[in-house]
Amino acid sequence: MLKPEHQYYVYILTNKKNGTLYVGMSNNLERRIFEHKNKLIEGFTKKYGLDKLVYFEVHPYVNDAIIREKRIKKWKRQWKINLIEEDNLGWNDLSHDWFE
């Protein structure tokens, strides 16, 4: 199978298990998570210390990722928790070994 020319990511950050949640979208997940972890972005994630990647999904088209991000943002909190815990029951930081 051919890799799409572009990839877009919808992701969820937190500060701890069952903590504050942030839903975002990026075309470069590794760079974006680096920015969050190093507090390079002013706003909600910096204010609440959201730097643990607990969920992400990949989309080949930017419009699909934008629509998905907006939908998840409107979800009830418990639905977001359920989405995270489908694949990450322990709320592990999926990016824990990305940066040295």
Identify whether 75 is part of a domain: yes
Question: Residue 65: which CATH number?
Answer: 3.40.1440.10
Number of domains in the chain: 1
Residue for token digits 């040295």?
100
96 inside domain: no
The pLDDT of residue 5 is above 80:
no
With a cut of 70, say whether residue 96 has pLDDT above it.
yes
Sign of CA dihedral 27, 23, 56, 79: negative
**Segments forming the whole domain that contains residue 21:** 8-87
Residue pLDDT, tens place only, 66-77: 999 999 999 999
DSSP codes joined into one string, 80-100: HHHHHHHH-TT---TTTTS--
Q: In the prediction, which pLDDT does 6 show?
A: 86
Q: What is the pLDDT of residues 8-63, one digit of tens each?
A: 999 999 999 999 999 999 999 999 999 999 999 899 999 999 999 999 999 999 99
Rounded to 5°, angle at Cα 86 from 83 and 90:
100
Q: pTM value? A: 0.93
User: Going along 1-100, which residue ranges are E strands?
Assistant: 8-14, 21-26, 52-59
